C-alpha cells in the first residue's frame, strides 16, 4: 500500500508540473481556458493533499505499533516474566523422632572391600561388595535388599538403567538381618558380594580417559524402624581415573512408604 500511495503522489505531482509548464508555454486566451486551468490546479491540489494525509495516517499507525512493540520489549527486559511452578508432590518426609537412616557404603571402601577387588580392575574376575550401614540411632528391622552390579556404557541414561534394574524379574529382593546402629559397637552392615568378569578390552574402556564404559552398583533396600517403613535407593559407578565409585542421581535417596 505504501508503494501504491507513493506512485499516486508521483503521478499527481507530475501532472501538476506538466500543467504548470503548459500554462507557461500556452497562456490562456479566453475566460473559459483560465477557468479550466484553475479547476485543474484545484483538483490536483485536492488529490495531492488527500494522498499525503492518507500516507501520513498510515505512517503514524505503523509508528504507534512499533512503539508498542519496543515498550513491551523494554518492559520484559526490565521485569522478567514471572513463571509459576506448581508445588512438587512429595512422599511424607522421614520423621526425626525414633528414626534411623541407612547409608550405602562405597564398594571401594576399606570397610567392605574384598581381598580381590574391586580396585584396580583387571582382566578376569572382579569382586564388588554392596552394603548398607545403619548410621542412625535405632534398630533397622524387616530388611529386604535387591542389588545388582554390571558393566554399562559411558555415558548412560542412569534413570533408565535403574528403572530396568527395578523391573527385572530375576533380581528378587533378598531378606537381610536386623541392623543395629553403628554407634552401638556391634555389626551394623548388610552386605552382598557380586562377581564381575571383565576382558582386557572391558578394563581398557572403563579406565580410559575419557571413559567409554563403567561398572555400576545398583541397590534398593526396604526396611522399617520405630517410626515407619522406608525405602533407600543407591547407585554408584566406577570409571576413568577415579579411585572411588562416584554417585549416580539416585544415590542414598530415602522415602517413607507408610
Domain ranges in the chain?
2-78, 102-256
Mean pLDDT in residue range 33-48:
77
- Report whether pLDDT(1) > 50: yes
> HSE on the CB side for 174, CA within 13 Å?
13
Q: What's the fold here for domain 102-256? A: Immunoglobulin-like (2.60.40)
Q: Quick one: which H or E segment has residue 217?
A: strand 213-225
Listing DSSP states for 63-106 in one string gives HHHHHHHHHHHHHHHHSPPP---PPPP-PPPPPSTT---EEEEP
Which residues are within 8 A (CB) of 193 and not within 5 positions of it... i.e. 6 or more apart?
Answer: 114, 127, 128, 129, 130
Cα–Cα distances (Å) from 88 to 31, 82, 85, in that order, read 92, 18, 8
Mean pLDDT in residue range 156-168:
89
User: What pLDDT was estimated at residue 75?
Assistant: 67
For residues 250 and 236, the model is more confident at 236
Dump pLDDT digits (tens) for 107-159: 877 777 654 455 667 889 888 888 888 888 889 999 999 988 899 999 999 88
User: What pLDDT was estimated at residue 84?
Assistant: 62
Say how far apart CA 258 and CA 255 lie, in whole Å. 9
For residues 166 and 23, the model is more confident at 166
- Report whether pLDDT(105) > 60: yes
Residue 88 C-alpha cell reads as: 512438587
Residue 24 in 3-state DSSP?
helix
DSSP symbol at 245: P
Say how far apart CA 40 and CA 258 lie, in whole Å. 96
Residue 37 C-alpha cell reads as: 486551468
Dump pLDDT digits (tens) for 198-229: 899 999 999 888 899 998 989 999 999 988 99
For residues 84 and 30, the model is more confident at 30
- Report whether pLDDT(44) > 80: no
Which residues are within 8 A (CB) of 173 and not within 5 positions of it... i.e. 6 or more apart?
Answer: 144, 145, 146, 220, 222
Dump pLDDT digits (tens) for 51-97: 777 777 777 777 777 777 767 766 666 665 565 656 565 555 544 55
Bridge partners, 246 (sequence order):
237
Residue 142 C-alpha cell reads as: 524387616
For residues 175 and 191, the model is more confident at 175
| Phi, psi angle pair for 146, to nearest 5° | -125, 120
Is 200 within 8 Å of 215 (Cβ atoms)? Answer: no
Amino acid at each position: 500500500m505504501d508503494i501504491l500511495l507513493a506512485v499516486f503522489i508521483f503521478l499527481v505531482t507530475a501532472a501538476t508540473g506538466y500543467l504548470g509548464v503548459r500554462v507557461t508555454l500556452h497562456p490562456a486566451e479566453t475566460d473559459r481556458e483560465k477557468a479550466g486551468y484553475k479547476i485543474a490546479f484545484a483538483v490536483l491540489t485536492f488529490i495531492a493533499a488527500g494522498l499525503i494525509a492518507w500516507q501520513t495516517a498510515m505512517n503514524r499507525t505503523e509508528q504507534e505499533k512499533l512503539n508498542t512493540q519496543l515498550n513491551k520489549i523494554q518492559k520484559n527486559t526490565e521485569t522478567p516474566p514471572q513463571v509459576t511452578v506448581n508445588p512438587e508432590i512429595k512422599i511424607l518426609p522421614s520423621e526425626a523422632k525414633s528414626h534411623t537412616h541407612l547409608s550405602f557404603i562405597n564398594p571401594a571402601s576399606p570397610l567392605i572391600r574384598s581381598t580381590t577387588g574391586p580396585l584396580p580392575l583387571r582382566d578376569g574376575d572382579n569382586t564388588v561388595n554392596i552394603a548398607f550401614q545403619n548410621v542412625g540411632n535405632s534398630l533397622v528391622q524387616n530388611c529386604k535388599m535387591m542389588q545388582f552390579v554390571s558393566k554399562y556404557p559411558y555415558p548412560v541414561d542412569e534413570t533408565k538403567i535403574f528403572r530396568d534394574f527395578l523391573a527385572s524379574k530375576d533380581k528378587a529382593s533378598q531378606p537381610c538381618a536386623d541392623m543395629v546402629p553403628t554407634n552401638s559397637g556391634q555389626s551394623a552392615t548388610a552386605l552382598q558380594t557380586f562377581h564381575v568378569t571383565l576382558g582386557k578390552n572391558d578394563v581398557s574402556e572403563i579406565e580410559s580417559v575419557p571413559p567409554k564404559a563403567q561398572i555400576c552398583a545398583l541397590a534398593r533396600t526396604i526396611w522399617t524402624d520405630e517410626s515407619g517403613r522406608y525405602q533407600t535407593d543407591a547407585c554408584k559407578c566406577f570409571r576413568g581415573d577415579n579411585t572411588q565409585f562416584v554417585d549416580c542421581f539416585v544415590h542414598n535417596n530415602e522415602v517413607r512408604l507408610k
